[in-house]
A and B are shown apart, each in its own frame.
Chain A
Amino acid sequence: MEEEDESIRSKLSKLLPGDIFHARCPNGASLICLVEQMTKDTIEARRITTQDHESFDLETGRTISDGPPCTIDSIAPLPIETLHVLLGLERKMRLRFEKLNEEEKEALSFVAFFYPAHPL
């Protein structure tokens, strides 16, 4: 168990601000998160779709919350085209929302299969 936690920490420590990773909630919610800041014990991130701030425990990869936590399940690097589309989506959701365009729809469908296929 300790080795596993160490392994999770070592993997998650590779993340840097600007990276995108994925977490899954117990209710099935998909959290596509953009790293904002890495601290000694936490990953401070932002959901690109809802702009919610999330704090993840670097040891366990779980959200720091009162309820059952969401867990980071993949930090696999996205294809550069998809990465750019998601970064654009993040800006759209933050600054000026319009309906999803075809590229964004395809990107969201892609990550739904990509992250489960590349687990942590």
Chain B
Amino acid sequence: MLNLIRRPEVPGFRVGVPEREPGFHVTPDESIQTSDAPIMPGFSMPRMQQPDPSGRSLEFFSSHPYLRQTWSDGGLPLGAPSNAWPGMEPVAMGDRKCQGCGAGRASGQTGAFQVTGRILCRNCAVKKLGLEDESGSEQVLRLAPFSLDPYR
């Protein structure tokens, strides 16, 4: 349950209301329009800006930055399906996860090596091959033959 408390309005941050700056006002989607394109309350405004049937004004809610869900910030609205962008095709499926990282250790590391058929991150590969006591430069040389072939 979302608990919303009405706060005092901050001058200059109200949306949907003509500002005092001559010739400009701010619309709910934060674009700037000139006075030549007047706001039509209840008609062309987003749903949250329209009059609430219960009689309450939702103007404050729509102005709250954590309640807005816009497409203009480059991200998808919370909970939107990943294919919500029309015409967008996924081009990457993410990194290959390390199969050696587990409970009690760092997890989610990117796998970069293959040892005995398992994809391992650098730390796990070093442990698996027994290279813990080697210097960093020696580890690089000795791990290179176990690097993943990225196009396999």
- Residues of chain B having any CB pair with chain A under 8 Å: 114-117, 128-131, 134, 138, 141-142, 144-152
A interface residues, how many (CB within 8 angstroms): 31
- Residues of chain A having any CB pair with chain B under 8 Å: 25-32, 47-52, 54, 63, 65-70, 93, 97, 99-100, 105, 108-109, 111-112
Q: Which residues of A contact B138 (CB under 8 A)?
A: 105, 109
Given A25-B147, A49-B145, A112-B141, A97 contacting B152 (CB threshold 8 A): no
Q: Which residues of A contact B142 (CB under 8 A)?
A: 100, 105, 108-109, 112
Q: Which residues of B contact A54 (CB under 8 A)?
A: 149
In Å, the complex CA distance between A112 and B131 comes to 16
Number of A-B contacts (CB under 8 A): 74
Give the dominant DSSP class at A's interface: loop
Do the beta carbons of B147 and A28 come within 8 Å of each other?
A: yes
CB nearest neighbor in A for B147: A29
In Å, the complex CA distance between A109 and B131 comes to 12
Given A50-B114, A97-B116, A99-B130, A65 contacting B145 (CB threshold 8 A): no
In Å, the complex CA distance between A93 and B146 comes to 11
Known: A25-B151, A112-B141. 8 other contacts (CB 8 A): A28-B147, A31-B145, A49-B115, A63-B151, A66-B151, A97-B115, A105-B134, A109-B142
> Which 10 A-B pairs rank lowest in CB-CB distance, beginning with the nearest?
A99-B130, A67-B151, A29-B147, A30-B144, A112-B141, A49-B145, A108-B142, A50-B114, A97-B116, A30-B145
Do the beta carbons of A29 and B117 come within 8 Å of each other?
A: no
Q: Which residues of A contact B152 (CB under 8 A)?
A: 52, 65
CB B112 to nearest CB in A, in angstroms, measures 9
In Å, the complex CA distance between A30 and B114 comes to 12
Do the beta carbons of B148 and A29 come within 8 Å of each other?
A: yes
Contact of B149 among A48, A70, A105 (CB under 8 A): A70
In Å, the complex CA distance between A19 and B110 comes to 33
Q: Which residues of A contact B116 (CB under 8 A)?
A: 93, 97
